[in-house]
Amino acid sequence: TEHMLQERYSYKDEIAQALKKYEEKAAKSEIIKEPLLLEKRISLNFEGATDEETLEMIVKILQEHHIKATFFIPAMEIAENENIAKLVLNNGHDMQNYTLTGTRHMHEWEAEDVIAELCRSEAIYKKYYGYCPKIVKFNATKLTDDLLYEAGACGLSNVVSSDRYLNYTSFSKEETVKDYVRALPYGAIVSIKLSGYLDETEYTGNTEAALDKKAGLNTEEKESLAESNLLRVVEWIAAAIESDGYETVYVKEIEEGDLGDLSQSYTALREQNNGKEAEPINYVYTTDRKAA
């Protein structure tokens, strides 16, 4: 099936043009990373593939808690089931590029392979979305300069960088989720993996229970358990975001906010500081738990 899809969406001319742009270093994607905000605003993202029924339940949870999200689903999954795109877009969410297959560690690929993957994915997204995404998120991939030029050559203006990843094993208690959300900085970019494990580059110590490793479960039982726990994690996260009063925005909208007088103070202090390094503060004495 993968070979047939790649043949169907070969687009040799587009790939050749993108390769030429890459060789000329004609365009380079900018990185979207967590901004400094004064407003209580975060971006919630979903990555990877899941079945249509599970996706429908996730969308329903988001609607119930008045949350909008950005979905990064491999283009091949969209080509095989166009209802996925309709389900997400018709319910007010955004979809961006997650490459053709969502393969990990694409920084290790040759430039022509990355460009072919991105060009084919853009063609599929255009067919089923009606537009070419301008933002790409790579799966567990180091954002090297070469990769940014490769993405830029394919017409992608931005690449998302984030280090806050969750999946179906991340929480076993709702109270822990509330603490996690409460501690998020304004401007946080949070990604929930819809399937599979967290790569070692994505694991941040949130996982409480390796539910997929429970003894005595067959493959079907493990998949069912993973699905039910994914939905539970999404429900807890969505409820905590709403309860805490966060505004959710698409990742394409998350940008440095207007810091007002604070920004002017920073500028004046930087000029006054003239590059001098501050002495480290080793101890902060406080009775407030939240400060720690």
- Tally the C-alpha atoms within 13 A of residue 217's C-alpha that lie toward its C-beta: 14
The residue behind tokens 């007010």 is: 92
pLDDT in tens, 122-155: 999 999 988 999 999 999 999 999 999 999 999 9
Weakest-pLDDT range from 30-44, 234-248, 255-269, 277-291: 255-269
**Band of residue 253 on the pLDDT scale cut at 50, 70, 90:** very high
Assess contact for 89 and 82: CB atoms under 8 A: no
Q: Which residue intervals of the chain are DSSP H helices? A: 2-8, 12-24, 52-64, 75-80, 83-89, 111-129, 145-153, 174-182, 219-244, 260-273
Query: How large is the average pLDDT for residues 81-87?
Result: 94
As a whole number of angstroms, the distance between CA 220 and CA 218 comes to: 6
pLDDT of residue 209: 43
pLDDT of residue 210: 42
> What single string gives the DSSP state of each residue in 121-161?
HHHHHHHHHSS--SEE--BS----HHHHHHHHHTT--EEE-
Return the structure tokens found at 230: 């994914």
**Band of residue 117 on the pLDDT scale cut at 50, 70, 90:** very high
pLDDT of residue 102: 96
pLDDT of residue 212: 44
pLDDT in tens, 18-46: 999 999 999 999 999 999 888 899 999 99
The one-letter code for the residue type at 196 is G
